[in-house]
A and B are shown apart, each in its own frame.
Chain A
Amino acid sequence: AQSVTQLGSHVSVSEGALVLLRCNYSSSVPPYLFWYVQYPNQGLQLLLKYTSAATLVKGINGFEAEFKKSETSFHLTKPSAHMSDAAEYFCAVSSAPGGGNKLTFGTGTQLKVEL
């Protein structure tokens, strides 16, 4: 069965600093991996999706994630944090054939951005 583990339930960075949110996966087949973001009082929004086409995946709002098979990792990064990035971030892996939307989520990482 596929699973993901997010390291760090809370991460705090200064505005303008690098954002690094960690996600490790476990999968018996080549995984389809996702990052979602949830802003306060909103639904989850897709940031990016890994489909094996390229190991470095660029998403919305300046975020990107790199798939590293040797490390079973799919960490999310952004070079320079903005106050508007404060939100909860979820890593997920598809449990459906072909990368469908039956997703297994991690426990989430709350990102705080400080002045």
Chain B
Amino acid sequence: EAGVTQFPSHSVIEKGQTVTLRCDPISGHDNLYWYRRVMGKEIKFLLHFVKESKQDESGMPNNRFLAERTGGTYSTLKVQPAELEDSGVYFCASSRSPEEKLFFGSGTQLSVL
């Protein structure tokens, strides 16, 4: 069974540019989460999808971040325009239900220069 897949693994962009991160959850997992780790600090929750609906987006930093999950399968996280403080590792995770085991992808390392 394939795990959670994230693409790209690394992205280097300039301030003001746009970047789109993609996450493919484990097949059959309705629950998809985005987390972010900035500058070696704690990993922080960004948002939670249940199928295609945003269940909780309380952790999204600001309106430069847009997450989508059309069709309830893969998800994208777009940052537009990117700022220096957006640099970090973005993790995607999925689970069958909100209380079942969470499986993480290996993350996307985003560097904004």
Q: Which A positions have Cβ atoms within 8 angstroms of B?
A: 36, 41-46, 90, 95-96, 98-108
Contacts and interface: CB of A to CB of B under 8 A. Distances in A.
Contacts of A98: 98-99
12 contacts: A42-B106, A43-B93, A44-B91, A95-B45, A99-B99, A100-B98, A100-B99, A101-B99, A102-B48, A103-B43, A104-B42, A108-B40
A43 B45 contact: no
Contact of A41 (B44, B95, B106): B106
B98 A105 contact: no
Contacts of A102: 33, 45, 48, 56, 98
Nearest to A99: B99
Interface of B: 3-4, 31, 33, 35, 40-45, 48, 56, 91, 93, 95, 98-99, 101-107
Nearest to A6: B42
B42 A107 contact: yes
**Interface majority SS (helix, strand, loop, mixed), chain A:** loop
Contacts of A100: 98-99
Given A41-B106, A42-B106, A101 B42 contact: no
Q: Which 4 A-B pairs have the closest CB atoms?
A: A43-B104, A100-B98, A105-B43, A44-B104
Contact of B98 (A41, A101, A108): A101
B107 A43 contact: yes
Nearest to B33: A101
A6 B93 CA distance: 22
Contacts of B107: 43
Contact of A43 (B44, B56, B103): B103
A83 to B, nearest CB: 21
Contact of B48 (A90, A101, A106, A107): A101
Given A96-B98, A99-B99, A101-B98, A108 B42 contact: yes
B103 A104 contact: no
Given A102-B56, A105-B43, A106-B42, A43 B99 contact: no
A60 B31 CA distance: 24
